[in-house]
Amino acid sequence: MSSAVDRAALWIDSLRRRYPLLLEELAPGTGRTFREVRGGGPAASTVAPVRLYVSDALRDVGDGVVELEEAVRDRLGLRRISAAPVPVRLRRLTELLDVLRDRDMPDLAAHVEEETRRMANRCARALGDPEQLVRLPGRCPACDSVSLRAFPERGVAMCVNPPCRHVLDEATGDEMDDETGDETGDAA
């Protein structure tokens, strides 16, 4: 269980770093402006349009953090706590992980890990962050190519050769097959 708690702590840290970047992306005065183009287009000095996917990600992550903190506190038998901004709630969730380490609740630890991973990935996608890849030495045991890569954020290693996609960590193999697409093979 402690490994699920440790992984959840990493995902919360990722959220703490990325959430403010989402706010910056949504803020109106980011300096991005359009000039009027001959034949139509935005008027001079028009502020860049709001990107709805960033707004949706902010709402999804904000709601998710609130619900997760309340659920964890409820499950641990702790009293409700006052409303707070998302960064404060993330700090409080990190503190709750210490309580979770002391209790034998593997299902709750797995839930916290899964939800924080989902929200961190949503932030990363909205920000356009590519997933980090680490080249691994050796050859794929299935296809013998030198296309082995580690995905630290997912905690898995696999062959990125498109016809192969052999997963070295079978515990997350089914999840990897669903999440990987052609862009993973292109990143190699």
pLDDT tens for 27-69 read 765 444 444 444 445 554 555 566 788 889 999 999 999 999 9
Residue 134 main-chain phi, psi, to 5 deg: -125, 125
Question: Crossing angle, helix 86-102 and helix 106-127, to 10 degrees?
Answer: 150
Question: Residue 68's pLDDT is what?
Answer: 97
Instruction: Tell me how far CA of residue 179 lies from CA of 7, 67, 128, 146, 167, in angstroms.
Output: 19, 25, 16, 21, 12
Is the pLDDT score of 181 beyond 50?
A: no
C-alpha 153/C-alpha 38 separation (Å) is 46
C-alpha 138/C-alpha 147 separation (Å) is 9
User: How many of the other CB atoms lie within 10 Å of CB of 86?
Assistant: 22
In this prediction the pTM is 0.63
Better-scored residue on pLDDT, 24 or 90: 90
C-alpha 76/C-alpha 146 separation (Å) is 47
Q: Which residues pair with 150 in a beta bridge?
A: 134, 157
pLDDT tens for 81-134 read 999 999 999 999 999 998 998 888 889 999 999 999 899 989 988 888 777 777
Q: How many CA atoms lie within 13 A of 186 on its CB side?
A: 4
Q: What is the 3-state secondary structure (H, E, C) of 10-53?
A: HHHHHHHHHHHHHHHHHCCCCCCEECCECCECCCCCEECCCCHH
